[in-house]
Structure 1
């Protein structure tokens, strides 16, 4: 019994995970099979597991999974495994990094009539990204309920209320820049903040649907330009979907090549240290390596309108 089950696990996992033959799982699990992720608390049936495997294989097409050990104890078993693959296509909103990853996990299963009825896993797809050094803000995106993180909308404000709240916040206007194959790229961003002065850390939050996002994600450095009162046309350019936003923009390169826009109130170049995944956005934590400050007053933004900061009255 033990050897037969061990062989079945090894053969089926190799077919499903290494070759994408996910239908092979139907010979190993029961009709009412349920899989629970210990890290996220989410449950999945066989069809959902098959979809997850295919999505992972699309992003890591050379994935190889080795069953290191199967320990059977009556109607229970523990499966220990190792997977290795190269991230060559987008996965969970993250552009391809070209990096090889190795991840390990263990599955604890209940066996009924020689098939897996229920499975508790210590791993989910985000572990692949964490093994690449890309982290998800899981604790911030869920609610703690009895030790399990789950999504909850019951005690969250209406979307329109949140939009109204955000419109009340007054910010500066920044353009975040990088290069892709020597070509300058950039987009307008108001989600910028200084994290600390010692060491000098800053953060920007970038929407994953931006055309500049893949280039930023792949970069080692980025530029952050605080636009001045005199750069209203520049805002329109970088808020647009123009194919060449730098066509009529004067700029110079920072020490590591990031485009710094001439005429900005201030500009810096920073090394990207962390990329935290937050569903629709990625939060970039960066260490500043170069900074420039001019005497030109910065532009101010609030509720969809731009203001001249020099005209503000002091309280």
Structure 2
């Protein structure tokens, strides 16, 4: 097998388009959250999803301690929200509307969908942590808006919703 460097690896992985989500939760009575593109459905029975926060994340340890988190699936028009939650520190929720789910998790206004999870398991994954969440509740808020996508280092949208 040929050798490759970090840049080669990033370049190859950038050929795969991902959606963008904001992971949210409550820590010591305050909302916390971070942007992520590593989100995937894992299992239907039981219903499980996965995220992969960086080990340098300051938000994930707070959510881990809480034992639960929510996944806010972003629409293409929510790029500013994504950028705000991609930064470390500050009150990320101050600029954006949100409510709470039945579980008490922050649900961001305008999200395409929401998945409320209980922390099921964590696994070491290099410079990230592979997190498995058991889905407790979910909702779809919009089926006619394009999702926010990340591809080749840029954000974009899927324009052809009419042709599945």
> Equivalent residue for 2:45?
198
Whole-angstrom CA distance in 2 between matches of 1:188 and 1:156? 31
Selected match of 2:110 from 257, 263, 283: 263
In the superposition, the TM-score normalised over structure 2's length comes to 0.90
Q: What does 1:44-123 align with in structure 2 at a 5 Å threshold?
A: none
User: What is the match of residue 8 of structure 2?
Assistant: 161
Structure 2 partner of 1:212? 59
CA contact (8 A) 1:174 1:188 kept: yes
Q: Which of 208-217 and 171-180 deviates more?
A: 208-217
Judged with a 3 Å threshold, the aligned counterparts in structure 2 of structure 1 residues 157 and 184 are, in CA distance, closer, same or farther, namely same
Higher relative contact order (CA 8 A, sep 6+): 2
Which protein has the larger Cα radius of gyration, Structure 1 or Structure 2? Answer: 1
Structure 2 CA distance for aligned equivalents of residues 199 and 280 of structure 1: 28
1:174 to 5, 16, 21: 21
Question: Which runs of 5 or more structure 1 residues have no equivalent in the other structure?
Answer: 1-153
Match of 2:127 among 280, 305, 311: 280
1:274 touches 1:284 (CA, 8 Å); kept in 2?
A: yes
2:150 corresponds to 1:301: yes
* CA distance in 2: counterparts of 1:303 and 1:285, whole angstroms: 26
Secondary structure (helix, strand or coil) at the match of 2:53 reads strand
Once the two structures are superposed, what CA deviation does each residue of 1:107-160 show, in whole Å capped at 9, x if it has no partner? Answer: xxxxxxxxxxxxxxxxxxxxxxxxxxxxxxxxxxxxxxxxxxxxxxx9653221
Q: Show CA shifts across 1:30-59 (max 9, x none).
A: xxxxxxxxxxxxxxxxxxxxxxxxxxxxxx
Higher helix share: 1
SS at match of 2:95: coil
Judge conservation of contact 1:260–1:268 (CA < 8 Å) in 2: no
5+ residue gaps in structure 2? none
Counterparts of 2:116 and 2:75 in 1: how far apart (Å)? Answer: 17
Number of matched pairs: 162
d(CA) in 1 for partners of 2:88, 2:67: 24
**Could you report, residue by residue, the CA deviation over 1:6-39 in whole angstroms, capped at 9, with x for unpaired residues?**
xxxxxxxxxxxxxxxxxxxxxxxxxxxxxxxxxx
Pairwise CA RMSD of aligned residues? Answer: 1.9
